[in-house]
A = this chain, B = another copy of it.
Amino acid sequence: MQPKRGGLTFTEAARRKQIVAAAIEVIAELGYVRASFAQIAKRAGLSSPGLISYHFANKDELIGQVVAEVYATGGALIRPRADNVATAADALRSFVEGSIAFYDTHRSYMRALMQILNGHPEARERWFDAPNTSELAGIEEVLARGQRDGEFREFPTHTVAVIIRDLLSGALLRLLVTPDLDMAAYTREMAELCHFAVAKP
């Protein structure tokens, strides 16, 4: 009898992690369309694509795990940064800088995420809407706090939260398209921009 983790054997859990990692790499490099079970299995060193079907109910389950892994990793890195700060302005700056830093250090993760979002016909509703909404709510909360504390000027918090979220989307796209970008300069200017956008004049 092997010990288990939430109904999964040790080896089962390890295999799943291994396959998810290989899937991320392959999707990031070849794109979602070309990320077939055959390619993923080859990357993971598996003998047969059928082994992936053995460990995941179907392709959607695997892709869902990929998305979950990316969001879990990102959340674990970005959220704490924003929690350990005093003012709302610092929280906002922390969130923006943390997000861009995460995008920078996890480019293949983010490339895979974008590929899935654009390649899978129901990706948004299935895996993205919920975390995006919650992320948006987090930004809006910080903005509202800043207004309550008198740090920020008056503006419709929801609309500005959306715009800040979109700034980061644009930054991510840039990062993926221009790999040799001067990250320090880019991050600094972007943080400044966000600051100007919300701070009291």
Binding site for B on A (CB under 8 A): 30-34, 114-115, 118-121, 124, 128, 132, 155-156, 159-160, 162-163, 165-171, 173-174, 177-178, 181-182, 185-186, 189-190, 193, 196-197
| A169, B163: Cβ atoms closer than 8 Å | no
Chain B residues near A181 (CB-CB < 8 A): 162
Chain copies in complex: 4
What CA separation (Å) do A132 and B33 show in the bound complex?
24
Nearest CB in chain B to that of A128: its residue: B177
| A174, B169: Cβ atoms closer than 8 Å | yes
| A118, B115: Cβ atoms closer than 8 Å | yes
| A119, B31: Cβ atoms closer than 8 Å | yes
| B118, A193: Cβ atoms closer than 8 Å | no
Chain B residues near A160 (CB-CB < 8 A): 189
Interchain residue pairs with CB less than 8 A apart (16): A30-B121, A31-B118, A32-B119, A33-B119, A34-B121, A118-B119, A124-B177, A159-B182, A159-B185, A162-B181, A163-B189, A167-B167, A169-B174, A170-B170, A173-B173, A196-B197
Knowing A162-B174, A166-B174 touch, does A33 contact B30 (C-beta < 8 A)? Answer: no
| A197, B193: Cβ atoms closer than 8 Å | yes
